[in-house]
Structure 1
Amino acid sequence: MSATGGARRWLGLGALALGLTLTGCRTTGTAAKPGAPQAKQVVEFDPVTVTADLELDRLNDEELFAGGTSAFAANDFKQAARYFGRLVDFHPDSPHRRQALYNAGLAHQRLKEWDDAYGRFSELAEPAKGQGDALEASFRVAETLYHLERYDEATQMLSTLVARDDLPAGRRIEAQVQQGICQVESGKTDDAEATLRKALTAYDALPDKAEVEDYFPAQAHFFVGEIYRLHYEAVKLEASRGSDGLAKDLNYKAELLLSAQGHYLRSIRVGNGYWATAAGAQIGALYENLYEHMVNSPTPPELNAEEAGVYRQELRKKIRVLLTKSINIYERTLEAAERIGSQSAFVDRTRQSLEKVKRLLLADADGESAPEPEGAAAPHS
């Protein structure tokens, strides 16, 4: 059928629907007597919904599938979703329908249209027993649920995948790592740490590590580091606790920083470029953050002016060490990213942070070299 013929057919159907509606319309009001003024009449129409895509209406399922495949290959995901979606919705008996359903979900996913992607993938997904596209769709459903912030639902689907003995070790570990990440996002950090450590234990036990993409163990180590970073951020430095309490909190905060750093370093050692860069950026950011906490922490109230001066001098020494560590880690992270050609938001953030910390270190050196006025009080942030 030609494009003109398709348009004519759609218009004909619309006119028929409108004619049927007019035939069955309702009027309100009473009949007027001859010669009397006409009473006002209200005409109410039943709602009519017409759905059509004039361009695609003339295409059969083979043509739609070919058009969607071509658009997807050209990275025109909007067109791909349109073609595949038309096939799925209007050709239920097509042999291409399942593949079109999956591809439509992928196209929506590339467009970050998570609700639409979820709708397509969920029709295919079979997390308990599915194979092939039904299995792949199950992983995709969990991913879309993650982006929709429906973390508990994603966790449940992934736990079903983890429990399957028939899956290869790599897919089970992949599901378990993703499950742990969803638990982190939902605030269940204890459950998340247990889940991620189980995934890493399963990975370490594999005689052939090539069974698993290095992306997933690196990601698992990274998110265990994230858990300790969250614990680190939860510790507040309060001057009201006095010098002993403040020292205790600062030491505990430093211990949590080192724990987070340890897991980020393990992520780097796995050798995946993306997560190595991300982990390096987070380590540098931790030192930068601790610097900000220390430089902005108030002096313990029980110290007199002389003691406060000594306190600030000692604090400045520690701050300089933190800034130097942060610079070193940022530079090594950028060197690694350049070697492997990694480009990500973490790389951009690392460059910005490196310049910021260098300025802070220069400012600290300038502040130390400048003579203080005689009798000046200890400096405060």
Structure 2
Amino acid sequence: MSGTWRRWVWVGVVGLMGLAGCRTTGSGTRPEAAEPVTRHEVEFEPVTVTGDLELERLNAEELFAGGTSAFAAEDFKQAARYFGRLADFHPDSGHRRQALYNAGLAHQRLKEWEEAYQRFSELADAATGQGEALDAAFRLAETQYHLERFEEAAAQLQVLAGRPDLPPGRRVEAQVQLGICQLEAGQREKAEDSLRRAVSDYEEMADKDLVDKYFPAQAHFFVGEIYRLNYEDVRLDPLKGSDTLAKDLNYKAELLLSAQGHYLRSIRVGNGYWATASGTQIGAMYENMYSQMVNSPAPPELDGEEAVIYRQELRKKIRVLLTKSINVYERTLEAAERIGSQNAFVDRTRESLRKVKELLLADAEADPEAAPPPAPASKPHS
């Protein structure tokens, strides 16, 4: 699926975690020269290269304190330097595991996914790990996701999701993220099964407060995404004839309504972030349906008069789609304002609302019988 806007799907604990990370090592080889060359060798006293001369004079306690201070100040580049130096050059320090993990966190904040992956990979134990080893396993899957190693991330999360000893919230988290990675890997059926299982596990819980609402809302959202992708796969081609076009249009509408149903379920869970995202996607689907219908030529078997009638009826349906899109966008913005949400989805919704209102106004001006754009809703909507 097109995933350029879905790089925010992972949620993680933000801040300095007093946990563990991993050590990285590197090696390289130099290719042999193609032809023998004459070298003049000059000998110098041996020099030990430490990699970061500025931090060489600091001991483990000083490095850990410096890394902690830099992370607290959100200077993640410095934090990664201090923690990395401690981890790599003070293997016997009692702070080493904490430094390793925190170095991975700092690299994550910098979106240095390969470096973060290297730090977490040594500690991660998806099968039996506890504490920092368990947290590192979740972090490792996250870095694999961002590195677009979706199948590797899915394999890691499959193990985590299958562990009966994990707290309910962590199992649901692993199951949801497993579904997302499967979806990114192009495995829609597996993804839907994983996401629905996460929702089912959540619904069966006697105490739902054990799970952050972020995850079941995210699961519903991405089930909606699967139906949206199926919706986009259906192409409206008038050249196939009016009967086929009607069937395709009805099927496409069914997929739109199915996607909308899952987005609405996501909204009802009550997480503000995914509620805003879901409202945005619903409005965008109506807008997309409008675009496809308005740019679709009449079926070729229709004569002149029939084609005119076809276009008139199509305009009525298009007007309904625009109106629905406006209503959804307005409700989404109202909800975002009530909860104080401000993110990329809110900005996108405002711009889409403006554009759709302009389209409806242009349609009304072109057709005197068209109804004017609806006024903003005066009451809050659930």
Q: Which residue of structure 1 lines up, in the alignment, with residue 98 of structure 2?
A: 99
* 2: CA distance, partners of 1:280 / 1:253: 19
Q: Which residue of structure 1 lines up, in the alignment, with residue 215 of structure 2?
A: 216
User: What SS does structure 2 have at the residue aligned with 1:191?
Assistant: helix
Residue 54 of structure 1 and its aligned partner are, at CA, apart by 2.1
Q: Which residue of structure 1 lines up, in the alignment, with residue 127 of structure 2?
A: 128
1:43 aligns with 2:40: yes
Q: Which residue of structure 2 lines up, in the alignment, with residue 258 of structure 1?
A: 257
1:205-229, CA deviations, whole angstroms, 9 ceiling, x for partnerless residues? 0000001000000000000000000
User: What SS does structure 2 have at the residue aligned with 1:187?
Assistant: coil
* Counterpart residue type for residue 346 of structure 1: F
Residue 51 of structure 1 and its aligned partner are, at CA, apart by 3.9
1:299-319, CA deviations, whole angstroms, 9 ceiling, x for partnerless residues? 100001110000000000000
1:38-84, CA deviations, whole angstroms, 9 ceiling, x for partnerless residues? xxx642689x9934322211100100000000000011111101100
Q: Which residue of structure 1 lines up, in the alignment, with residue 326 of structure 2?
A: 327
* Counterpart residue type for residue 76 of structure 1: D
Residue 250 of structure 1 and its aligned partner are, at CA, apart by 0.5
Q: Which residue of structure 2 lines up, in the alignment, with residue 143 of structure 1?
A: 142
1:313-343, CA deviations, whole angstroms, 9 ceiling, x for partnerless residues? 0000000000000000001101111111111
Q: Which residue of structure 2 lines up, in the alignment, with residue 156 of structure 1?
A: 155
User: What SS does structure 1 have at the residue aligned with 2:164?
Assistant: coil
Structure 2 length-normalised TM: 0.85
1:252-277, CA deviations, whole angstroms, 9 ceiling, x for partnerless residues? 00000000000000000000000000
Q: Which residue of structure 1 lines up, in the alignment, with residue 359 of structure 2?
A: 360
Percentage identity across paired residues of the two chains: 74
* 2: CA distance, partners of 1:228 / 1:124: 37
Pairs within 5 Å for 1:73-112: 73-112=72-111
Structure 1 length-normalised TM: 0.85
1:310 aligns with 2:304: no
* 2: CA distance, partners of 1:44 / 1:169: 65
* 1: CA distance, partners of 2:226 / 2:361: 32
Question: Higher relative CO (CA 8 A, sep ≥ 6), structure 1 or 2?
Answer: 2
Mean Cα deviation higher: 334-343 or 258-267 = 334-343
Superposition RMSD in Å: 1.7
Q: Which runs of 5+ in 1 are unaligned?
A: 1-27, 30-40, 371-381
1:90-135, CA deviations, whole angstroms, 9 ceiling, x for partnerless residues? 1111100111111000000011100001000111111111111110
Residue 159 of structure 1 and its aligned partner are, at CA, apart by 0.5
Contact 2:239–2:300 (8 Å) recurs in 1: yes
* 1: CA distance, partners of 2:170 / 2:124: 15
* Counterpart residue type for residue 333 of structure 1: T
1:267 aligns with 2:272: no
Residue 353 of structure 1 and its aligned partner are, at CA, apart by 0.4
Contact 2:50–2:56 (8 Å) recurs in 1: no
* 2: CA distance, partners of 1:61 / 1:253: 62
Q: Which residue of structure 2 lines up, in the alignment, with residue 177 of structure 1?
A: 176
User: What SS does structure 2 have at the residue aligned with 1:369?
Assistant: coil
Q: Which residue of structure 2 lines up, in the alignment, with residue 234 of structure 1?
A: 233
* 2: CA distance, partners of 1:145 / 1:156: 11
* 2: CA distance, partners of 1:44 / 1:352: 67
Of Structure 1 and Structure 2, which has the larger fraction of its residues in helix? 1
* 1: CA distance, partners of 2:40 / 2:308: 86
Q: Which has the larger radius of gyration?
A: 1
1:268-293, CA deviations, whole angstroms, 9 ceiling, x for partnerless residues? 00000000000000000000000001
